[in-house]
Structure 1
């Protein structure tokens, strides 16, 4: 019997990608208002007013608040609602302690394993910091990019995720370390020393210098 040709089976059409949920956009907007101090640490979050300002129902707003609570930016209080998290001196100390542990470990890894292109990436960000030392807001942004690039190059995504959340919480501190007179210049000098350790592939020095970098930051932030 002759074989019967059968038409090829059509591959199923790919499912369309889901659109970004509204609560994620709301969380972004709230996060930026908190960082800009439009919503001050310790202040009560008026859900009804914000929902009206945003032109949304309270459901996506509440979902957004849950996201920010997980990040540590918002504190939910039973029967009292949501508040912007306020950092105590002990909170600041604990955050710096964790950052020092995670980023000093990453610095040692980068000194040991980074290739030429990865070190060049950190060098380019450092050179940008050198140019921005008198421009505080720009320095803040580039400094964060340098630190997050370090974590990415180190290759531990769990450390990178934890550090990203801790750095969000750091922005709640009313006495951010880089606000202190002279701290930008000190921070930049510490970065220079760390970069030199990377280029020398000296993991012990990179680890030690990164710990010292955070000790200096904590002294400025808690002082």
Structure 2
């Protein structure tokens, strides 16, 4: 499927849902052009986000977590900004931002086939429903990382294109004081962030942008 075909397919779906579209919104990458993170990179990123969420609830565990991540050779997968989160006391906004990243985690779990389907971005995910998909805390994550396999490129680009165009729609509604759409903008933002990182829209996790 070409990027133009994918755009038309997405727009047809959005129109059927009553979601506004912008026909001039650019195409995403072609299937033969896109570059993806490896499945192992994705698995490690999921684990870092998992441990960040853990220290939000258990701030006294930070040093134990850092020691464990170094022992498992995961420390190098922590972004510069995240290293500060692990080192210093978190603000309330930090805690909120990290909590929202559970939506990015779920998206990345989908990308390596641990989650069969992502529902429309209406209700926030309940981490307790899929926490069992991750290794137990402070246990060897090697099997989880080594066994990870990426979904086919067309599936990933289908979701990226849909999320990208949905993101424009919710932003447009907010900016122009239009009737709110039946989607959660926060969920869409986190999915878009994760998918842009997955497809190398930016090199570093901290620097990902979600242009529309």
TM-score normalised to the size of structure 2?
0.30
Task: Point out the structure with max Rg over C-alpha.
Answer: 1
Q: Which has the higher helix share?
A: 1
Higher RCO (CA-CA < 8 Å; seq separation 6+): 2
TM-score normalised to the size of structure 1?
0.28
